[in-house]
Amino acid sequence: MKTTNLNSVTAVSHRPITLSRIHWLLGIQTVVILLGSLNRLGSWTLGYVAANEFLRWVDLHNMLTLPLISVTAFYLLKKEIERGPLRGSHRSSLLLNLTFIIGLYLLAVSYGSHETTNYLHTRFCSDGVISDLCRIVIFNDDDFSHWLFFAGFVLINGALMLLQLAHPWQNNVSGRDTAVLGLNAFSVALGIFANLGFEEIGLDLYVVLSLAVLSGWLLWRNGRQPLLVYYTIAYGVGLVLTAVYRIVV
Residue 13 has pLDDT above 50, yes or no: no
Number of domains in the chain: 1
pLDDT of residue 103: 98
Residue 239 has pLDDT above 50, yes or no: yes
Judged by DSSP in three states, 3 sits in: coil
Burial of 32 (C-beta count, 10 Å sphere; 0-12/13-18/19+): buried
Let me know: does 17 contact 80? Beta carbons within 8 Å. Answer: no
pLDDT of residue 3: 45
Structural domain contains residue 178: yes
pLDDT tens digits, one per residue of 70-111: 999 999 999 999 999 999 889 999 999 999 999 999 999 999
Structural domain contains residue 227: yes
Judged by DSSP in three states, 178 sits in: helix
pLDDT of residue 5: 46
pLDDT of residue 198: 75
pLDDT of residue 17: 61
| Cβ-Cβ contacts under 8 Å for 21 (sequence gap 6 or more) | 80
Structural domain contains residue 135: no
Alpha-carbon gap, residue 231 to 216, rounded angstroms: 8
Q: Which of 32-46, 63-77, 154-168, 227-241 has the weakest average pLDDT? A: 32-46
Identify the domain containing residue 158 by its residue range: 19-108+151-248
Structural domain contains residue 10: no
Structural domain contains residue 241: yes
pLDDT of residue 164: 96
Structural domain contains residue 128: no
pLDDT of residue 6: 41
- Model-level pTM? 0.88
Structural domain contains residue 132: no
pLDDT of residue 146: 95
Structural domain contains residue 40: yes
- AA identity, residue 31: V
How confident is the prediction for the chain on average, in pLDDT? 90
